[in-house]
Amino acid sequence: MSRNLVELVRRHHAFDAPTALDVLKDAVERRGELTDEDRREAARRSGLPEAAVHGVSTFYDDLLTPRGARHLRVCTGTACFAATGDAHVDALRDGLGLQLGERAADGSVSLAETVCLGFCHSAPAVRDGDTVDAGPGVVERALAGACVAAAEPAWSSTLAEPVLTRPGDWSGLRRVREEGVTPEALLEAVTAAEIRGRGGAGFPAGVKWGFARAAAGEEKFVVANGDEGDPGSYIDKHLMERNTALLLEGMALAAHAVGASHGFVLVRSEYPRSRPALEAAAEAARAAGWLGERFDVTVIEGAGSYVVGEETALLACLEGLRGTVSARPPFPAQEGLYGRPTVVNNVETLCNVPFVAVHGADAYRALSPDAPTAGSKLVCFNERFARPGVYEVPFGVSTRWLCEELAGGLRDGRSIKGVQIGGPLGGILPAERLDTAFDFDALAAEGCMLGHGGILAFDDATSMRDVARHLLRFGAHESCGKCFPCRIGLQRAHGLFAADAPIDRARLEQLLETLELGSLCAHGGGMPAPIRSLLRWWPEELGLAA
């Protein structure tokens, strides 16, 4: 990201004021589309040059599709695909007589696609305004203008001493304050607890915090990455909407440890309930004295971009800039938000911290006795399962136990063909490999990843070539456009599977290698993983050339 643009924003923009992106989003919401005057207004208010604002306005999905009086967004995430094979998309398109991204000539209604509304437990999902409806009959209700809010998923814990499903009560921060726990001591505890990042990469949180604490600079930030873009995952959504205090407490503790004065949560615009929930929780926390002068939190909503979940892109989005990935170094811990040292942690990662602050590192490490990884994990299941929902589990249990016992296997007598774990960048585990332990290294050995912890089953009726096409369409659409392998390579890979022609396996493998070795971030680097799984387990379904 341009250091100069970041500096211009830093100088001209109070960080709780609307960013250029906020101004643009607001204009779209008010009038249904953007004008150059809106862009100029965003430039004036943010300190950004007009061209930079133009660039922003062409990047985010939310700004690109025109909106009618009624704006319908149909979920094309993987859980919805697994549920209907995209039949719900076609039904809405036909019913409305509109293509995706189109607005009726009379302006009454518009249809857009959105990738993952986080109602994967009840797919397919459709959003009408800010109401998300999901499950059987949703298309009919949407066409009739009668959407109703879908039920939130069930949640429970398999642990006696839950970490993440325990309602946040500020007991960790209370202990820090009452007992005068120093930043150094808290950092040491978090380091000793070996909290690994839950956003996918699994980087030790304590190490990251240590870098940020050691970085020079008066002003530091804590950022909660709530851009849970992985289709099929609704874990962070659950935390951001239904365990808000736990997240805010985790952020306050992180701030204490690294010496940060302000925090930001980036929530997804696909989760319309997240920002209000967090803002209400922050207000309550201020009233109770947990947030305020020493450390406060601003909640910022994204605008439709998967790659913004990558930490450098996330920071750019928070600054109101294009959500493209930047090469590291510099790492955010040295030069992050507004060029200041910044801790960026996934929402779930931060939610582990209060437990450590209360009970200490040893108690935390003891939670998963059968696994190398400390702590516990939230997992979630898609609608294909009999008992989808959010569950807190220890690491190291078998994937089969999770799928067949905890989630009850598939509904309607279907059987599992494969499960994709941890989002679209994760490999696909075939049914015969479900005994693999649910942990970072064990899954990696199978070409899979723990990722975010979303477990998404494809049933026996699913065409695996369709899965490849679905995933690559998503990958190409969401490429931020910065690095060449991802920008062009995913387009070409999708082209291979979308064309009605046999696929040259050598050509495909060359492309996958280019993506894996060449991509700047995990998006391009990870998209080959499920394709490799498909090549490994279901080659005959892919239409490879003889």
Partner 1 sequence: MSAPALTVTVDGASVEVPAGATVLDAARAAGRWVPTLCFDARQAPFGACRACLVGVEGAAAPLPACTTPCRDGMAIDTEDAAGRRVAHAVVELVLSELPRAPAPHTELAQVARRLGVGEPRWPGETHAPAPPDVRHPYLAFQHELCISCGRCVRACDELQGTFALTATGRGFGANVAAGLDAGFRDSACVACGACADTCPTDAITEVSLLP
Partner 2 sequence: MTESVTTTCGYCGVGCRLEAHRREDDGIASISPALDGPANLGHTCLKGRFAHRFARHRERLTTPLIRDERGGPARAASWEEAIERIAAELGRVRAAHGPDAIAGLASSRATNEDCYAMARMMRAAIGTNNIDNCSRVCHSPTSFALRKALGLSGATGSFSDFDHTGATLLIGANPTEGHPVVGARIKQATLRGMRLVTIDPRRIELADYGVLHLAPRAGTNAAVVLGIAHVLARDGFVDHAFVAARTDGWAAFAELLPAYAPAAVEAISGVPAADLERAAHVYGEASEACIAWGLGVTEHKHGSEVVQLICDVALMTGKIGRPGSALLPLRGQNNVQGSSDMGALPDTYTAYRSVADEAVASSFEDAWGVPLSRTKGYTIPQMFDAAVAGELKAMYVFGEDVAQTDPNTAHVVHALESLDFLVCQDIFETETTKYADVILPASSFLEKSGTFTNAERRVQLVAPAIDPPGEARTDFEIIKAVSRALGHELPWATPADAMDEIAALTPDWAGISHARLGRRGLQWPVAPDGSDAPILYERAFAREGGRAHFAALPYKAPGDAADDEFPLILVTGRRLQHYNAGTMTRRTGNVELVDADVLEIHPDDAARLWISDGDRISVRSRVGRIELPAQVTDRIEPGHVFTTFHFPETRTNLLVGASADVNTSCPEYKVVAVDVRPIGEQPARVPALA
Interaction between residue 201 and partner 1 (CB under 8 A): no
Q: b/e string for 272-304 if b means 16 or more Cβ within 10 A?
A: bbbbebbbebbeebeeeebbeeebbbbbbbbbb
Report the distance separating Cα 190 and Cα 147, nearest Å.
44
Task: Please compute, for residue 365, the number of CA atoms within 13 A of its CA located in the half-sphere on the CB side.
Answer: 10
Residue from 274, 324, 342, 533 binding partner 1 (CB under 8 A): 324
Interaction between residue 7 and partner 2 (CB under 8 A): yes
Query: Which amino acid, residue 387?
Result: R
Residue from 1, 4, 222, 403 binding partner 2 (CB under 8 A): 4
Q: Cβ of residue 47: shortest distance to partner 1, in angstroms?
A: 11
SS3 297: strand
Q: Cβ of residue 12: shortest distance to partner 2, in angstroms?
A: 10
Interaction between residue 518 and partner 1 (CB under 8 A): yes
Residue from 8, 100, 185, 192 binding partner 2 (CB under 8 A): 8
Alpha carbon of residue 167 to chain centroid: 22
Token digits of residue 124: 């397919």
Please, which residues have CB within 8 angstroms of residue 47's CB and are 6 or more apart in sequence? 8, 9, 11, 12, 13
Name which of 6 and 257 has its Cβ closer to partner 2: 6
Nearest to 323 by CA among 451, 212, 479, 471: 479
Length of the chain: 546
Among the listed ranges 3-11, 61-69, 130-138, 525-533, the one in contact with partner 2 (CB under 8 A) is 3-11
Query: Which amino acid, residue 323?
Result: G
Strand pairing of 70-75 and 296-301?
Answer: unpaired
Residue from 3, 40, 507, 536 binding partner 2 (CB under 8 A): 3
Interaction between residue 327 and partner 1 (CB under 8 A): yes
* Helix spans in 145-272 (H): 171-179, 183-193, 205-214, 235-242, 244-258
Beta-bridge partners for 71 = 110
Q: Cβ of residue 325: shortest distance to partner 2, in angstroms?
A: 22
Residue from 44, 70, 492, 505 binding partner 1 (CB under 8 A): 492
Neighbour-count burial of 154, counting CB atoms closer than 10 A to its CB (0-12 exposed, 13-18 middle, 19+ buried): exposed
Contacted entry of partner 2, partner 1, none for residue 491, CB cut-off 5 to 8 Å set by kind: partner 1
Interaction between residue 55 and partner 1 (CB under 8 A): yes
Contacted entry of partner 2, partner 1, none for residue 7, CB cut-off 5 to 8 Å set by kind: partner 2
Interaction between residue 329 and partner 1 (CB under 8 A): yes
Contacted entry of partner 2, partner 1, none for residue 511, CB cut-off 5 to 8 Å set by kind: partner 1
Interface residues with partner 1 (CB under 8 A) are 2-5, 8, 36, 39-40, 49-52, 54-55, 58-59, 305, 322, 324, 326-329, 476-485, 487-492, 495, 499, 507, 510-511, 513-514, 516-520
